[in-house]
Amino acid sequence: MTVMRYAESLNAALREEMARDPNVFVFGEDIGTYGGVFKVTRDLNGEFPGRVFDTPISEQALTAMAVSAAMTGTRPVLEIMYADFMPLTLDALINQASVFSYVWEGQVDIPFVLRTQGGGGVGTGAQHAKSLDALVAMIPGLKVVAPVTPADAKGLLKAAIRDNGPVIVLEHKLLYNTRGEVPDGDDLLVEIGRARTVREGADVSVFATSRMVLEAEQAAEALAAEGVSAEVIDLRTLRPLDLDAIVTSIAKTHHAVVVNEGWGFNGYAAELSATIMDHAFDLLDAPVARVTMPDMPIPYAEPLESQVIPNAARIAEAARRVLA
């Protein structure tokens, strides 16, 4: 094991996959000489000449380019600097990437990865701090992953690059400097579509995505001091969803809290709650509780921002509510 920062583990995944497969290339805004806003692509430009490209600011065109390149047999990895700009990519994602294999009866693969980061917590304001998970997770034909730990960041990104379909990798700006153990070697792959049990529990299941997993762990610690045993599940993959892991956990605890940093109305937590009701209603002893952003822009001022982003205290309160 090697202790690495989250950003370093992503960098290692890109380096290893580019060394393994000459068809892998990386492009995006400021990812070459500058190494990316969060330094995920640091030094790759020099190590792989001609395979790391800086681009103009045109997310719509870049995503269409990635789809076209993937159709020719290469494996492009596109970085969209902020998730807030994901709406500009939707035409290529909805009308091209997600459907081409279907409309051509599997004769064409679209093996490309779109990386982006979102989430609040550092005062970047309403145009650079959104969590738009639901925007891409709703699209059939796409896979969507949201790693939390450095090991999962490396393993899921490598798995995404090797996948023969389009995969969206959602990162969080507050995770880039977190540290964790990462297995040595270049063979680390994390299966897409498999959740991770972070903490075993018997009273309530907390299903969380991205950085909210860390908040859920803190909430579980607080609840444990009160005699409440909370099970924390890191979904890791937003689509396809590990439904077996969700149902198995609820069968044990009979209570569910879902946590997502996106908006509540029509958000990912809303879909997850509905899915639980569809598949585990008879196992529940109380309605599913949701912990999300309120339906409003993210404030710039730090005191206001901290009030609207879901946190451990709100998660713990939701758990108490369903248990009551």
Tokens at residue 93, please? 């994602």
Q: How many CB atoms lie within 10 A of CB 214?
A: 20
Q: Which two structure tokens, joined as six digits, stand for 27? A: 């492009």
Instruction: Give me the catalytic one of 16, 17, 29, 59.
Output: 59
Active site residue 172: no
Closest to 109 (Cα-Cα) out of 142, 70, 143, 140: 70
Task: Count Cβ neighbours within 10 Å for each residue of 164-200 and write b for 16 or more, e otherwise.
Answer: ebbbbbbbbbbbbebebebeeeeebebebeebbebbe
Which position among 8, 79, 128, 215 bears the catalytic label?
128
If one counts every other C-beta atom within 10 angstroms of the C-beta of residue 108, the result is 12
**Length in residues, the chain:** 324
> Strands 204-208 and 256-263: what pairing?
parallel
HSE on the CB side for 238, CA within 13 Å?
Answer: 34
Residue 240: cis peptide before it, omega within 30 degrees of 0: yes
Residues 125 and 310: their CA atoms lie apart, in Å, by 16
Q: Which secondary structure element, helix H or strand E, spans residue 159, and what is its range? A: helix 150-162
Phi and psi at residue 141, to the nearest 5°: 100, -15
With 0-12 / 13-18 / 19 or more C-beta atoms within 10 angstroms meaning exposed / middle / buried, residue 107 is exposed
* 59 is an active site residue: yes
Please identify every residue annotated as catalytic.
Answer: 59, 128
